[in-house]
Amino acid sequence: MTLTALALGVITGLALASIYVLIAISFTLVLAASGVFNFAQGSIVMGGTVLAFLLAVKLGSPVARTIAAVIACGLLAGLLTHLIAVRPAIGRSKSFTHTTMLTTIGLGIAVNAIAALMFGSDSFRVPPIVEDAPIRIGSIPLRPTYLIMVLCGAALTLSIEWLVRRTQLGYMFRATLEDAEYAQLMGIDTRKIIAFAFGLAGALSAIAGFLIAPVIGASAFAAQELAFYGFAGMAIGGFGSFAGALVGGLIAGLIAGVIPAVANPHYAQPILWLVVVLMLLFRPGGLWGTAGLFGSTRLREV
């Protein structure tokens, strides 16, 4: 192992972390608002990669228009997930969390299967949105695509933080997270806030797929691994915690980037899941999370 290889591993890890953080925040938005582990989130990430290919490559759409379409489709996908896989389960089961885990997994599998039937299982190359000739910093080559991933991931993360902390909509969202029943007494339509959380999470996941598409390509199944890394980031950082999603996604990204640089690349996933399992065993709430404080009191089963 050389210092250059380690530095490349760290750079790759930070680029991947920017994507994992967005996915972890997507999971956290939905979980915090509704008590739902939305395992259809990976299919929305996949949709972002496929849309990047269809719009940018097949149709030659400009970058700005492609990004707008990806965000809009992700928003719609999140809302449809809530409508199809979550709302019908409300009040129909003693274990809402477990039921919606199954319905969102089922929806995600169905969407992946439909995408595979339509586009096949091959991976399609998605060109980067900028010239990807490496920029050399000393002996370390830096891909501009990785830099864009980091900058966009940081900008989106800060934007979500601003939205949640500084706006009237964010105030209503935080009130719903804190106590959904009390928020309803204050006149807040918590059903719309929860639907908003699903839509925003869908938009974030879709743009994460768009950003990572030049690295992993576009296919019906390429993004599932990313969703699992994002979920692992949320589990490490803390269920329901936005700060935890940020730190957990960073840890997951560095493991995914550094381990292949210093050891066998196949060790990355087992090491990550070992960290997740140990965290769940010894600190179930994660680094910053608090077990059980998700959504309505009727749904606090985590």
Residue 299 has pLDDT above 50, yes or no: no
Taking alpha carbons only, the member of 200, 206, 276 closest to residue 236 is 276
Residue 302 has pLDDT above 70, yes or no: no
Say what the pTM is. 0.90
For residue 142, give the 3-state DSSP assignment: strand
Round to whole Å and give the CA distance between 182 and 232. 31
Average pLDDT value over all residues in the chain: 86
- Spell out where the chain has E strands: 135-137, 140-142
| Span 199-210, pLDDT tens digits | 999 999 999 999
**pLDDT for the residue numbered 126:** 93
Going along the chain from its start, the domains and CATH numbers come out as 13-119+158-299 (1.10.3470)
Confidence band of 1 (pLDDT split at 50, 70, 90): low
Q: Which residues pair with 141 in a beta bridge?
A: 136
User: 1-5, 83-87, 111-115, 131-135: which range is least confident on average?
Assistant: 1-5
**pLDDT for the residue numbered 300:** 39
**pLDDT for the residue numbered 93:** 67
Taking alpha carbons only, the member of 259, 214, 265, 231 closest to residue 57 is 214
Confidence band of 129 (pLDDT split at 50, 70, 90): confident
**Amino acid of residue 293:** L
Tokens at 38, concatenated: 């939305």
Round to whole Å and give the CA distance between 262 and 289. 31
**pLDDT for the residue numbered 71:** 96
Confidence band of 298 (pLDDT split at 50, 70, 90): very low
| Span 164-193, pLDDT tens digits | 888 888 888 878 777 777 788 888 888 888
